[in-house]
Amino acid sequence: MFVVEIYKAYPNQWQFLSRIEKNCGEEIEDIVKNNSLNKGVVSKVKEQTNIVKMPKRLKVINSNGNHIPKSSLPPVLINKIIQLATFTNPEFFKAKSKRLSTYKIPRIIDCTENYTDYIILPRGCLDRLKALMLENGTELLVKGRFRPVFGILFTSCFKIFLFENRFLWYSIHRRINYS
């Protein structure tokens, strides 16, 4: 409801609305400058990109996931790294569109493990992590912790399995039909 200065309502609200002219952004800034407590202090909010000091190098250990140390990272970059492995849950939105209960269905699925000293991203996020670091001017050093002798390790474990569990080995042998 639109009222006059003495708090009396306009008789025709729609007619009053049709007489109001729109103001452009510059006029609104002038009005705010003239009526603000700190004269002339008006600032626009801009997205902060590359304002925070980024590290020159980031060492990532690639084992059961990408282990990223938090110690040298600013909070803005930590949040962006975590966002690499989060996505919306389609089951949540499917249930919501069908007007079913969304209780105990997470809206966002987070695949990161966030510890006090480091973040663990899934191994599939390494390419996106490289792109993010390249965008921020940070060199990414990836160090692997994989066992190169996986085949040897597997065969020795399988031999122990064969000798210790002969009955189980015979049942597997019959199903696979090794001759």
Cα–Cα dist 105/95, whole Å: 9
**Residue 45 dihedral angles phi and psi, to the nearest 5°:** -85, 125
Average pLDDT of the residues in 76-82: 92
Confidence of residue 151 (pLDDT cuts 50, 70, 90): very low
Confidence of residue 132 (pLDDT cuts 50, 70, 90): very high
Percent of the chain with pLDDT over 70: 72
- pLDDT tens for each residue of 47-65: 444 556 888 999 999 888 9
Residue that the structure tokens 């510059």 belong to: 26
Structure tokens at 95: 């249930």
Confidence of residue 26 (pLDDT cuts 50, 70, 90): confident
Cα–Cα–Cα angle for 121, 125, 131, rounded to 5 degrees: 120
